[in-house]
Amino acid sequence: MENIMKIFGENAFTESNLKKRVPKKVFEEFKKVQKGEIELTKENADLIATAIKDWATKRNATHFCHWFQPLTELTAEKHDSFIEPHGDKDFIYRFSGSNLIKGESDASSFPNGGLRSTFEARGYTVWDTNSPPFIKENELGATLYIPTSFISYNGEALDKKLPLLRSMDAVNKSATRLLNLLGYTEVKNVIPTLGVEQEYFLIKKEHFDKRIDIMFTGRTLFGGKTPKNQESSFHYYGKIKDKVLNFMANLDYELWKVGVSAKTRHNEVAPNQFEIASIFDVANLAADQNHIVMETLEKLALKHGFVALLHEKPFSYVNGSGKHNNWSLATDTGENLFDPKSPTFMVFLSAMVEAVDRYYPILRSMIASCSNDYRLGGHEAPPSIISVFLGSHLTDKFKDAKLSLVDDKIVYGSKDKKIKKNVTMININQDFDDRNRTSPFAFTGNKFEFRMPGSTSSPANTSMVINAIISTVLNEYSDKLESSKNIEKTINSIIKESNKKHSRIIFNGDGYSKLWHEEAEKRGLKNISNTYEALQFYLDKDIIKMFESNNVLNKVECHSRYKAFLNRYVDNRLTECNTLIYMIDKYILNFTYKYIPTILFEEEQNEIKTYSNYLLHYKKELAQLLQQINEIDFEEKARLLSKDSIILEAKIRKVIDYLESKIPAEYWTIPTYTELLFTL
């Protein structure tokens, strides 16, 4: 085990690697660059690039690439080899500072929501100096990956990283400003921290090859209930099968090699569903690392004969996959601002609650996707109404919150409430509140856990929006404090007023219940049920104002994001509809027609015939709908695809699932849920 642990970070160009390879002065200047205090000089960039190249080529790297997070896909990359001609038939390995820092790519074909047209194709990828380059190995060598942001010629964000970096800057300034005003002048920097839990399914590769729906859409478009489901949660934390454990061990090993601190692994609730969580880190690094986790998951699964499904809802009737984003703020003096022991805990808690109450629709938009639509509100996933869970104890305290409140019960658990137990050996205090699995935005002891993001969502987007909304509120608090003579009195009245006004967003009960839906409506909290509705909030005046005031996104960028994400939604929905039609024609009807003549009993034969007629009929209706929307404007298309076609697809699914239950396995050659979920 010790040897395996030794490989940690071997394939990442970490700070200690740089320190060893460049003069002390260069290293120190680079640290200042990372903090945004100075710009990287050309000379230093060249020295660092040479150090990275020497390190990487020793590890068999032949290529480097600028790796970025475009608007509509998870990541993108373009490779260049280190080779440059040198003399007649000779070549050398070359990698300059400018190769490292800045790449130029004709990226006009990347969906950008109209920010750039083909004749203005210039786009730049710029190294995020806080995220270390790393190496990915392949059979014949290796590639150096440089984490970058993607920026247009005019400086607009074409990706998810740049707004995240801007939001980190915003929250750094706003939180430091407030702390300084409150008397904590030793604090110079505040960083957002992020810990990402990633859920996924594994299925056999041979099954995947036979499910065109999973191949094209990431999920099953049909499939009946299995005789056994997840009812008793038999899979959750269950014994991990050897084959799966081999895969997980391999995954941890590969992740550790590139410096990703994979920590927790276990079976999840649904059959064949699993989770991997890393140790939290600075938000931009944690976001990059989650992309590495997803890419490595997909790649390694194949080596083990599996396919990893990252889709939010690959199967009906069982849990979908989320990506819990654990978020907090840390000071450079080593304090977690959401630790109840922190002297300013109540101030930051109030600001977070207020921020969510005022801007929850944009939190909802940020995690909206075609795939997450199928998950929210389903089995054990949070509902699509956003609320904040504080737990009953903290909610009580919140009502008359004061700056000076440090509460033993919150910090150490309730001493007078012991956990009931049957053994006498252990004696543990009960936590001050139980967990609430249904809450979309839950306070979990010393951080917030945003549970709505789906398994394919980008943590860069998620933490960007949390940073941005809280910054706005923190700055407003500071504005008021700046003109105040009595800081303590003013902050106490600020939080008191804020808590009174915004505690409607706090809900500690069951987020699934019908009662909550009614109650939320009374409180004026919107139920934003699908991506089409959610994305509209990118165009909302107040939300744009909030982003602009923090310099996180400007109006043009908000509008372009709206278009790019809505276009992606339309594309995904159309692919789902077209795949369904394709599978009906190529497979389902074929199975049915083969089976019908073999049925001995006329009654049964007629029943199957009737169902196959339904199928033909609905399929035609769906095809007609697609034809009709072909010509219309993309917004209207998105609206129709979020409503009418969904109803039709549900009808089709019912018929197919019925046929699947009746037609013998020898005719039904597409793997069923029983095979997909219960064999590995």
Of 274 and 280, CB closest to ligand ADP: 280
Query: Binding pattern to ligand ADP, positions 155-194, x when CB under 6 A?
Result: --------------------------------------xx
User: In whole angstroms, what is the distance from residue 347 CA to residue 405 CA?
Assistant: 10
Q: What is the DSSP string of 58-94?
A: HTTEEEEEEEE-BSSSS-EEEEEESEEE-SSS-EEE-
Residues 446-465 that bind ligand ADP (CB under 6 A): 446-447, 449
Of 24-32, 272-280, 463-471, 625-633, the window that binds ligand ADP (rule: CB under 6 A) is 272-280
Of 277 and 293, CB closest to ligand ADP: 277
| 365 closest CA partner among 539, 571, 171 | 539
SS3 labels along 434-497: CCCCCCCEEECCCCEEECCCECCCCHHHHHHHHHHHHHHHHHHHHHHHHCCCCHHHHHHHHHHH
Q: Is 500 exposed, middle or buried (0-12, 13-18, 19+ CB in 10 A)?
A: exposed
Alpha-carbon dihedral sign for residues 291, 297, 303, 308: negative
User: In whole angstroms, what is the distance from residue 640 CA to residue 570 CA?
Assistant: 10
Of 391 and 671, CB closest to ligand ADP: 391
SS3 labels along 187-199: CCCEEEEEEEEEE
Query: Binding pattern to ligand ADP, positions 332-361, x when CB under 6 A?
Result: ----x-------------------------
The gap from C-alpha 233 to its chain's centroid, in whole angstroms, comes to 25
Of 254 and 449, CB closest to ligand ADP: 449
Q: Which residue is nearest to ligand ADP (CB)?
A: 195
Q: Is 197 in the site for ligand ADP (CB under 6 A)?
A: yes
Q: How far is the CB of 339 from Mg ion (least distance, A)?
A: 18
| 577 closest CA partner among 329, 217, 310, 253 | 217
Residues 226-245 that bind Mg ion (CB under 5 A): none
Residues 281-340 that bind ligand ADP (CB under 6 A): 326-328, 336
Q: Which among Mg ion, ligand ADP, none contacts residue 383 (Cβ within 5 to 8 A by kind)?
A: none
The rounded radius of gyration (Å) of the Cα atoms in the chain is 27
Q: How far is the CB of 261 from ligand ADP (least distance, A)?
A: 8
Of 305-313, 365-373, 444-452, 644-652, the window that binds ligand ADP (rule: CB under 6 A) is 444-452
Residues 154-187: b if buried by 16+ CB within 10 A, e if exposed: eebbbbbbbbbbbbbbbbbbbbbbbbebbebeeb
Of 286 and 552, CB closest to Mg ion: 286
Q: Which of 60, 98, 138, 264 binds ligand ADP (CB under 6 A)?
A: 264
Q: How far is the CB of 278 from ligand ADP (least distance, A)?
A: 6
Structure tokens at 210: 């036979």
Q: How far is the CB of 171 from ligand ADP (least distance, A)?
A: 13
> Site for Mg ion (CB under 5 A): how many residues?
1
Of 290 and 672, CB closest to ligand ADP: 290
Query: Strand 388-389 to strand 441-443: parallel, antiparallel, or no bridges (unpaired)?
Result: parallel
Of 327 and 441, CB closest to ligand ADP: 327
Q: Which among ligand ADP, Mg ion, none contacts residue 433 (Cβ within 5 to 8 A by kind)?
A: none
| Residue 77 β-bridge partners | 67
The label of the residue with tokens 């509509």 reads 72
Q: How far is the CB of 410 from ligand ADP (least distance, A)?
A: 15
Sequence-distant (6+) residues with CB within 8 A of 593 are: 612
At 623, the amino acid letter reads A
Cα distances (Å, whole numbers) of residue 119 to 72, 100, 107, 122, 362 = 21, 26, 11, 9, 32
> Site for ligand ADP (CB under 6 A): how many residues?
16
Structure tokens at 219: 């999920």
Of 43-51, 109-117, 320-328, 420-428, the window that binds Mg ion (rule: CB under 5 A) is 320-328
Q: Which of 63, 173, 235, 324 binds Mg ion (CB under 5 A)?
A: 324
Of 326 and 350, CB closest to ligand ADP: 326
Of 254 and 281, CB closest to Mg ion: 281
Sequence-distant (6+) residues with CB within 8 A of 434 are: 391
Q: Which among Mg ion, ligand ADP, none contacts residue 194 (Cβ within 5 to 8 A by kind)?
A: ligand ADP
Q: Which of 47, 144, 178, 277 binds ligand ADP (CB under 6 A)?
A: 277
Q: What is the DSSP string of 607-666?
A: HHHHHHHHHHHHHHHHHHHHHHHTSS-HHHHHHHHTTHHHHHHHHHHHHHHHHHHHS-TT
Of 51-59, 157-165, 208-216, 316-324, the window that binds Mg ion (rule: CB under 5 A) is 316-324
Of 100 and 287, CB closest to ligand ADP: 287
Q: How far is the CB of 264 from ligand ADP (least distance, A)?
A: 5
The gap from C-alpha 175 to its chain's centroid, in whole angstroms, comes to 24
Of 277 and 656, CB closest to ligand ADP: 277
Q: Is 280 in the site for ligand ADP (CB under 6 A)?
A: yes
Q: What does the binding site for ligand ADP look like in residue numbers (CB under 6 A)?
A: 193-195, 197, 264, 277-280, 326-328, 336, 446-447, 449
Q: What does the binding site for Mg ion look like in residue numbers (CB under 5 A)?
A: 324
